[in-house]
Structure 1
Amino acid sequence: MGYRFSRDDVAYLGSAAGCAALAEVDRLELTPATHLRDIEQVRRAHGDRTAALIETVRLRRKAVVKLPAARQWLFTDDALQQATPALVARHRAARLAGRAVHDVTCSIGAELSELAEVCPAVIGSDLDDVRLAMAAHNLASPDEPNRARAPRGRNIVLAKADALTSTTRDTVIVADPARRADGRRTYDPAKLQPPLPDLLAAYAGRDIAVKSAPGLDFDRLAWDGEVEIVSLDGAVREACLWSPGLTEPGVTRRATVLDSRGDTTTLTDAAPDDIPDRAPGDWIVDPDGAVVRAGLVRHYAAKHGLWQLDPQIAYLTGDTVPAGMRGFRVEDRFELREKTLRRELSRRDCGSLEILVRGVDIDPDALRKKLKQRGSTPYTLVITRVGRAGVVFLCRAVAPH
């Protein structure tokens, strides 16, 4: 659960003395091997501030990948875990550019930081006093690092308020309900904090964007707006529910693929999804997870001249690979039999072996151990189902181009 910060901790960590102490602690390794020695050194210098200082440095180091510009921010462990990666928050903010926005679960301010760059007025509210104090610190002007912190500029207001109580008018509502219940991650909309059905009811008729886990059961909501699934650098990060007033007419599903270079690819269910029914082509393509989670595999295939290996399976096939995508060149095809696989892989001097599985119940790691390949040639096995039969495609992986 991490250290439990207090308002006094936040005030100290944001002071000149606290900033100097944090810089001192940041020079320590803080590894498992140096843990006891580091704690003792900090305790001698800073007494009962030790836990707050070490936890803050530890969290800042963890935050570098998710929030690279937040090197001087304050976090709680839970808040950092749920914080939206900066590139994902920036994408959402771009969709809200020019609107007044109220983030009703603002936490430590990760969303507010991006919204403030493109929105004329931004309000952040939360019930947690500590997180609000951290948000005020995090959103302070970067050229005033050592004085009492205030939100950057005049377009951000912070307030203590219940997310289920409407406290603003004429604003777009942004919310990020906590996805843990009784200490465990939940995918039940009614068990989020605040409960998603209650949140949507509280702002019925308002423009609203709600961040949620991509594994949430959206069909249980009977949502009449858009569900956007967002990935970053190949990993699915989140889903966002957009009310009808914030999306394009006729769009109910969207896949957005982001990467750290700044590239963005978007696909919606308004695009064509007619694809041919053909035998496997020269290549197999595994679409980005956002495309699969959004249910837009056929739309993606139609856009790139591909088709499905099987109507119920997300693997695609074709004669070319879409630009920027990793592809698997098919060299052979076998029935799903361990003896056949071992013989064929041995004959081809197979060494390192990547195994991709979809649609069949096989543990790739267990299968790799059974096959015991000791050759020098790398291969990829794509194991799936075509119709009722399990099929193995022997492939060579080709990097994105």
Structure 2
Amino acid sequence: MGYGFTAEDVEFLRSSAGGEALRAAAELPLMPASRLNDVASARRIAGERFAAAVLETAVLRRRTASKLDGVESWLLTEDAAQQATASVVARHRAGRLEGRDVHDVTCSVGADLIAVAAVADRCVGSDVDGVRLAMAQHNCEVSGASVGLLRADALRPVSRGTVVLADPARRDGAGRRKWRPEDLVPPLGDLMSAYRGRDMAVKCAPGLDFAAVPWAGEVEVVSLAGQVREACVWVGAPATFGVSRRATVLGPEGPLWTVTDAESDACPTREVGEWIIDPDGAVVRAGLVRHYGARHGLGQLDPRIAYLTGDTPPRGVRAFRVLEHGKYNEKTLRALLRERGVGRLEILVRGLDIDPDALRRQLKISGPEEATVVLTRVGDTPTAYLCRAERV
């Protein structure tokens, strides 16, 4: 759960004395092994009263440095740091709101607010938590974001004519993740009722059940660096006409490509080709495997499984060149790996009840070569594909 910041903590951290203490704390090792020494140093730097706040802030800044731009000057809480949108994802989402008036009704410490303020016509943020709101004010100021801030309950509208941006809390008081829309804070259904008829962008967990948001105009599943980061529910004018599902893949500088359900899904089932392609997780989560396959002239190994195959993989992806394949049998696979001298093995599984880690131990492989084995079901047949992973 992390340290419980108070308004007095935030006031100190924003002061010149607090700034000096934070700069000094940033030089500490801040490692598990150095914890006792770090605590003692923080007490010398900031005094007994504010040592924990200074140390926690220094740790959170370092932990999120690769995720949030400019975080070396921000104030954060543990929960806010965990839920905050990565800056490149926040900028992508904000880009769809360019030129609009936007109200972030769950602004927390301001991660999304700062991205939106850079492109919106006017921008306001609100939160029910006064401490986080004070942190948001600080973070917006050091980031040069021009925003209005006020304390308000997200379920009690205080603005008109704005696009409503929301990021409901997805953890309980013990830090456990919550997945059901009705368990979020605020619940998705209540949020929709409070802003019925308004344009909205609601950030949700990537495992969102699309059936739980029948009011969505478009659901966009976004991935970054190979990890699915969020599902954004677009309502009203910000939603793309004719599109109900979208998968967007981001790189460090922004969008690399996107695919939607408005495209053709003419993707046949076929025999394995020269390559197997494991589509990006955003494509799989958005249910757009067939659309992605049709775009690139690929087919499915099985209509119920997300693996694609073909003789020419899409450019820029990590694909798997098929070396051998056949009905899966652990004994046969072990013999094949030994014959090829495979000692480093990546195991990919879909559609079969196989634990990759347990299988790797059972295979007891050794040798100088590396390979990938794709294990899946084709029809009712467990099938193994021995491959070499390549970036094409």
TM-score, normalised on structure 2?
0.97
Q: Within 5 Å, give how 1:32-43 maps onto structure 2.
A: 32-43=32-43
* 1:187–1:217 Cα contact (<8 Å) kept: no
Compute the displacement of 1:345 (Å): 1.2
Which residue in the other structure is 1:278 paired with? 270
* 2:75–2:139 Cα contact (<8 Å) kept: yes
SS at 1:312 equivalent: coil
Q: Within 5 Å, give how 1:206-285 maps onto structure 2.
A: 206-285=198-277
| Cα distance, 1:182–1:71 mapped onto 2, change above 3 Å | closer
SS at 1:174 equivalent: strand
Which residue in the other structure is 1:82 paired with? 83
Q: Distance in 2 between matches of 1:85 and 1:182?
A: 23
Compute the displacement of 1:120 (Å): 1.2
Compute the displacement of 1:104 (Å): 0.2
Q: Within 5 Å, give how 1:256-335 maps onto structure 2.
A: 256-335=248-327
CA deviations on 1:289-320 (whole Å, 9 max, x unpaired) are 00000000000000111010100000000001
In structure 2, give the amino acid aligned to 1:18: G
Q: Distance in 2 between matches of 1:275 and 1:181?
A: 42
SS at 1:301 equivalent: helix
Which residue in the other structure is 2:101 paired with? 100
SS at 1:64 equivalent: coil
In structure 2, give the amino acid aligned to 1:216: L
Which residue in the other structure is 1:7 paired with? 7
SS at 1:361 equivalent: coil
SS at 1:273 equivalent: coil
Q: Distance in 2 between matches of 1:242 and 1:261?
A: 23
Which residue in the other structure is 1:145 paired with? none
- 1:61 and 2:52 equivalent? no
* 2:198–2:236 Cα contact (<8 Å) kept: no
In structure 2, give the amino acid aligned to 1:362: I
Gaps of 5+ in 1: 143-151
In structure 1, give the amino acid aligned to 2:17: A
SS at 2:240 equivalent: coil
Q: Within 5 Å, give how 1:324-363 maps onto structure 2.
A: 324-363=316-355
* 1:181–1:191 Cα contact (<8 Å) kept: no
Which residue in the other structure is 2:130 paired with? 129
Of 160, 169, 186, the residue aligned with 2:160 is: 169
Which residue in the other structure is 2:360 paired with? 368
Which residue in the other structure is 1:149 paired with? none
Compute the displacement of 1:41 (Å): 2.4
Q: Distance in 1 between matches of 2:236 and 2:148?
A: 27
Q: Distance in 2 between matches of 1:302 and 1:218?
A: 23
CA deviations on 1:206-248 (whole Å, 9 max, x unpaired) are 1011000011222023234111100011100000000132122
* 1:177–1:192 Cα contact (<8 Å) kept: yes
SS at 1:245 equivalent: coil
Q: Distance in 2 between matches of 1:111 and 1:246?
A: 17
SS at 1:71 equivalent: helix
Q: Distance in 2 between matches of 1:107 and 1:230?
A: 21
* 2:248–2:255 Cα contact (<8 Å) kept: no
Q: Distance in 2 between matches of 1:248 and 1:41?
A: 53
Q: Distance in 2 between matches of 1:223 and 1:287?
A: 28
Q: Distance in 2 between matches of 1:198 and 1:40?
A: 46
Moved more, 289-298 or 245-254: 245-254
In structure 1, give the amino acid aligned to 2:68: L
Which residue in the other structure is 1:185 paired with? 177
| Cα distance, 1:41–1:116 mapped onto 2, change above 3 Å | same
* 2:216–2:234 Cα contact (<8 Å) kept: no
* 1:236–1:289 Cα contact (<8 Å) kept: yes
SS at 1:166 equivalent: coil
In structure 1, give the amino acid aligned to 2:184: L
SS at 1:231 equivalent: strand
Q: Distance in 1 between matches of 2:345 and 2:199?
A: 49
Q: Distance in 2 between matches of 1:213 and 1:41?
A: 38
Of 182, 187, 195, the residue aligned with 2:187 is: 195
In structure 2, give the amino acid aligned to 1:34: S
In structure 1, give the amino acid aligned to 2:279: P
Q: Distance in 2 between matches of 1:219 and 1:47?
A: 51
In structure 1, give the amino acid aligned to 2:299: W
In structure 2, give the amino acid aligned to 1:93: A
In structure 2, give the amino acid aligned to 1:320: T
- 1:27 and 2:19 equivalent? no
C-alpha RMSD of the superposition: 1.2
Which residue in the other structure is 2:147 paired with? 156
Which residue in the other structure is 1:391 paired with? 383
Compute the displacement of 1:44 (Å): 3.1
In structure 2, give the amino acid aligned to 1:72: S
Compute the displacement of 1:141 (Å): 4.4
Percent identity, aligned pairs only, is: 55
Moved more, 312-321 or 240-249: 240-249
TM-score, normalised on structure 1?
0.95
CA deviations on 1:309-365 (whole Å, 9 max, x unpaired) are 100000000001101101100011121111111111111111211110011000011
Moved more, 217-226 or 250-259: 217-226
Q: Distance in 1 between matches of 2:122 and 2:254?
A: 26
In structure 2, give the amino acid aligned to 1:88: V
| Cα distance, 1:117–1:342 mapped onto 2, change above 3 Å | same
In structure 1, give the amino acid aligned to 2:121: P
